[in-house]
Amino acid sequence: MYIVIVGAGSIGSNLIDLAVADGNDVVVIEDDEERANEIASEHDCLVLNADATTNSTLKDAEIGRADAVITTTNVDAVNIMVMLLAQEHDVANLVSVVHDPENLPVFEKIGVTLIENPQRLIADYLYHSVRYPGVSDFIDLEDDTELVELTVTEDAPMSGKRLRAATESGQLPDGCLVVALKRGSEIRPPKGDTSIRAGDQVTVFTDDVSLVDAVAAFTGEH
């Protein structure tokens, strides 16, 4: 893919690492000269020390070739302007971080794929890591729901139980649904007669009210 990344701060630099390592053609636009020089010395990609909110800079980045434009600056106004200009160049995939929730409608109107407030996402992850040590990963969804990934322990109430029986007996909490199960290298869709074993990795859809009980059911943690 041909990817234009705007901003080489903490978020942008990690994104550049991933995109370049994966063999993509990457162009970076960074208005801070020192940071631009650092990125140019560290990565095999084109780095433009320029203002991304001007058409001339985007033309230098050959935006017409871009499969995606990703903005990662900490200023929503800059990200919005770049997204609008990229839209004018018919870039198919527009992605941006958004720091202020009040700006979400603007990005949505443009048709941007959004990553809301990265600092809040990091804070959520850190809190979940402390509050629920058995949760190896999670995704916050809308309406107070989320997906959590749990590793089943030997002494967990769900260990050795079939899903249908556990649901009927109440061992699997209300508001909790197992949507995927990984056993070894195999990922399978769980069914009512699927038996949960210690060591299984289960992905559970749950509401916030049932989260504590869901973690306890699969890991024994309270």
Q: Which residue has the higher pLDDT, 135 or 5?
A: 5
Q: For the segment 173-182, what is each residue's pLDDT rounded down to a tens digit?
A: 888 889 899 9
Select the CATH number that applies to the domain covering 2-116 from these four: 3.40.630.30, 3.30.300.30, 3.30.70.100, 3.40.50.720.
Answer: 3.40.50.720
Calculate the average pLDDT of the chain.
88
pLDDT for residue 149: 87
B/e letters for 5-38, b = 16+ CB within 10 Å, e = fewer, are: bbbbeebbbebbeebbeeebbbbbbbbeeebbee
Q: How confident is the model at residue 131 (pLDDT cuts 50, 70, 90)?
A: low
Shared fold status for 2-116 and 121-219? no
- What's the pTM? 0.64
- Amino acid code (one letter) for 52: A
Please give the pLDDT value at position 214: 87
C-alpha 193/C-alpha 142 separation (Å) is 30
Q: Of 173, 171, 181, which is closest to residue 209 (Cα–Cα)?
A: 173
Architecture of the domain whose range is 121-219? 2-Layer Sandwich (3.30)
The contacts found for 31-39 with CB under 8 angstroms, 24 or more apart, are 32/8, 35/8, 35/9, 36/8, 38/8, 39/8, 39/13
* Alpha-carbon gap, residue 172 to 195, rounded angstroms: 13
Model pLDDT for residues 34-49, shown as the tens digit of each residue: 999 999 999 999 999 9
Ordered by start, the domain boundaries in the chain are 2-116, 121-219
Residue 2 confidence (pLDDT): 97
Indicate the residue type of 97.
V
pLDDT tens digits for range 9-19:
988 998 999 99
pLDDT at 30: 97
Q: When comparing pLDDT for 72 and 133, which is higher?
A: 72
Q: State residue 175's pLDDT score.
A: 80
